[in-house]
A and B are shown apart, each in its own frame.
Chain A
Amino acid sequence: MDLSSNLILVIIVTSGATFASRFLGILTAENLSDKSKLFDWFNCVAYSILAALIARMVIFPAGALLESTLLIRIIVILISAIVFIHSKKNLVLPTILSFILLTFLSNIY
């Protein structure tokens, strides 16, 4: 098989594996009320999974972030979070700031 059709297969497989979870969610939730206990549990789990994902991205990163140190990542994240809280929860400012800060810091160290 040539490379190009192989790549297309890879994209189809990835999209299928991703869509499966989304679709399964719709099927599970079909008769679920937002007042039910089960909905409440799924909601808690969803938030908890996202928090675990964020923590992993920062503490045990993959890819480009591996080239920065944990200390610098935590400093950049803390500064951005402080800016977020003190800017009436503006999200554009801390996101731009985090990019500039880490690009700058990783050029120095």
Chain B
Amino acid sequence: MINRKYFYQGLKSLISSRSPAIALACSFVALGALMHNAGFNLQQSAASSFFTYALPGQLVMTESFLVGASLVNIFLSVWLVNFRLYPMSVALVPILKHESQPRWKYYLSCHMIAVSSWLIMKETYKKIDQKYRLDYWLGIGCGTLSAAVISTLIGFLISDYLTKGMMIGLAIVNPVYFLCMMIGAMNNLKIIVAVLSGGLLGPIFYLATPEWSILIAGIVGGTIAFFIKDKKNGSI
């Protein structure tokens, strides 16, 4: 059903020197504390991380709930803020595919798509036999998802002991982790252009339209990068 060797290999990405565990822990501990303060209970906080597993969306949910937004409004703002998962998932599935793998595994695996697991997969997939990439991916996904849920629980339980300074410190870890992973990923001209143009256009568009800025910057920046001819023949 699931190839154990490759599943464990994926799971092991959590305990290397390139581990996303610290970044996940810090951001989901902060989220757990935030949800505690917003009035969610322990089970609800854990369920949110398990079933949503996308930090920006959960933050939007918590904030919208606090200001009393309607369910339709919450749906729309979460959908917009998590829409980045759509191009990420399109750019992931083709490298996982193998005819020997059953369909249910793809549906299960799409829930594991998040920035950290996606960046790890993109960095390492070429070393993995195409036939078993889906099993490897499920290993990465189960590891990162469990880390997120456990950290949310911890954050919820220790929220009273977290000082304001610590909450600020926790909030910087995720961007630092993403940035370092992006620096690591910038190994061909296309990706370099995509990252630099997105990073530059994002804040500029934010001034005009905060809600849509990331999406528009990504589409414009990505399209610019798409037309760059890479010397390595577009290795991705």
A94 nearest CB across to chain B (Å): 6
Interface residues of B toward A: which range? Answer: 35 or more
User: Secondary structure at chain A's binding surface: helix, strand, loop or mixed?
Assistant: helix
User: Secondary structure at chain B's binding surface: helix, strand, loop or mixed?
Assistant: helix
Contact A76 B176 (CB under 8 A): yes
Contact A41 B222 (CB under 8 A): yes
Q: Which of A7, A76, A80 has the most CB of B within 10 A?
A: A7
Q: Tell me the total A-B contact number using a CB cutoff of 8 A.
A: 325
* In the complex, chain A residues whose CB is within 8 Å of the CB of B85: 18, 21-22, 25
* In the complex, chain A residues whose CB is within 8 Å of the CB of B197: 48, 51
> CA–CA, A56 to B91, complex, Å?
22
A103 nearest CB across to chain B (Å): 3
Which residues 27-69 of B have a CB within 8 angstroms of A?
30, 34, 39-41, 44, 47-48, 51-54, 56-59, 61, 63, 65
* In the complex, chain A residues whose CB is within 8 Å of the CB of B210: 60
B39 nearest CB across to chain A (Å): 7
Contact A34 B95 (CB under 8 A): yes
Which residues 84-140 of B have a CB within 8 angstroms of A?
84-95, 106-107, 110-111, 113, 115, 118-119
Q: Is A20 on the interface with B (CB-CB < 8 A)? A: yes
Q: A28-B90, A48-B198, A53-B214 are in contact. Are A92 and B22 (CB under 8 A)?
A: yes
* In the complex, chain A residues whose CB is within 8 Å of the CB of B115: 50, 53
The size of the chain A interface, using a CB distance under 8 A, is: 82
> Which of B58, B92, B168, B181 has a CB less than 8 Å from the CB of A102?
B168
> CA–CA, A89 to B183, complex, Å?
9
Which residues 120-167 of B have a CB within 8 angstroms of A?
164-167
Nearest B residue to A41, CB-CB = B226
Q: Is A3 on the interface with B (CB-CB < 8 A)? A: yes
* In the complex, chain A residues whose CB is within 8 Å of the CB of B200: 55
Nearest B residue to A57, CB-CB = B175
List the 9 closest A-B pairs by CB distance, nearest first. A25-B89, A52-B202, A49-B218, A45-B222, A103-B169, A48-B198, A51-B198, A48-B221, A29-B93
Chain A residues in the interface with B (C-beta under 8 A):
3-4, 7-26, 28-30, 32-34, 36, 39-65, 67-68, 73, 76-77, 80-81, 84-85, 88-92, 94-96, 98-104, 106-107
| New A-B contacts (19) at CB < 8 Å, excluding given A14-B61, A20-B79, A63-B63 | A18-B82, A25-B88, A26-B107, A42-B91, A43-B91, A46-B87, A47-B182, A47-B198, A48-B221, A48-B225, A56-B203, A60-B206, A77-B176, A80-B180, A91-B177, A95-B22, A95-B177, A98-B169, A98-B172
A-B contact pairs, 5 of them (CB 8 A): A7-B44, A18-B82, A40-B236, A48-B220, A60-B203
